[in-house]
Amino acid sequence: MFEDATFESMGTIHTRSRNWMLATFGLNGSILALLIAIPLIYPSALPRMMYISLLEAPAPVEETRPVVRQAPATASQTEMPAGVLQAPSRIPRDPWIPTTMEPRISGDVMSLGGPGTGSVPGIGCDPFNCGGARPVVRPAVQAKPHISSGVMEGLLIDKVLPVYPAMAREMRVAGRVELQATISRDGTIENLRAVGGPELLQAAALAAVRQWRYRPYLLNGEPVEVETTINVDFRLD
* Confidence bin at 237 (pLDDT 50/70/90): confident
* Confidence bin at 200 (pLDDT 50/70/90): very high
Chain mean pLDDT for the chain:
75
The confidence score (pLDDT) of residue 116 equals: 47
DSSP 3-state of 236: coil
CATH class belonging to 146-234: alpha beta
Q: In this structure, which long-range contacts are made by residues 46-51, counting pairs with CB atoms below 8 Å and at least 24 apart in sequence? A: none
Distance, in Å, from the CA atom of 160 to the CA atom of 232, rounded to the nearest integer, reads: 11
Distance, in Å, from the CA atom of 40 to the CA atom of 36, rounded to the nearest integer, reads: 7
The per-residue pLDDT for range 141-183, each reduced to its tens digit, is 567 889 998 999 999 999 999 999 999 999 999 999 999 999 9
For 28-73, what is the HEC assignment? HHHHHHHHHHHHHHCHHHCCHHHHHHHHCCCCCCCCCCCCCCCCCC
Residue 120 CA neighbour count, 13 Å, CB half: 8
Phi, psi dihedral angles at 41 (to 5 degrees): -85, -40
Distance, in Å, from the CA atom of 215 to the CA atom of 184, rounded to the nearest integer, reads: 10
The per-residue pLDDT for range 112-126, each reduced to its tens digit, is 444 444 444 445 555
The full DSSP string for 196-234 is ES-HHHHHHHHHHHTT-EEPPEEETTEEE-EEEEEEEEE
The confidence score (pLDDT) of residue 23 equals: 81
Beta strand 146-147 pairing with 226-234 = parallel
Are the C-beta atoms of 144 and 225 separated by less than 8 Å? yes
What is the arithmetic mean of pLDDT over 195-210?
Answer: 94
* Confidence bin at 2 (pLDDT 50/70/90): very low
The per-residue pLDDT for range 70-119, each reduced to its tens digit, is 655 554 455 555 666 777 777 777 767 766 666 666 555 444 444 444 44
The confidence score (pLDDT) of residue 86 equals: 73
The confidence score (pLDDT) of residue 167 equals: 93
Q: Tell me the whole-structure pTM to 2 decimals.
A: 0.41
Of 131-140, 144-153, 201-210, 225-234, which gets the smallest average pLDDT? 131-140
132 vs 20, which has greater pLDDT?
Answer: 20
* Confidence bin at 6 (pLDDT 50/70/90): low
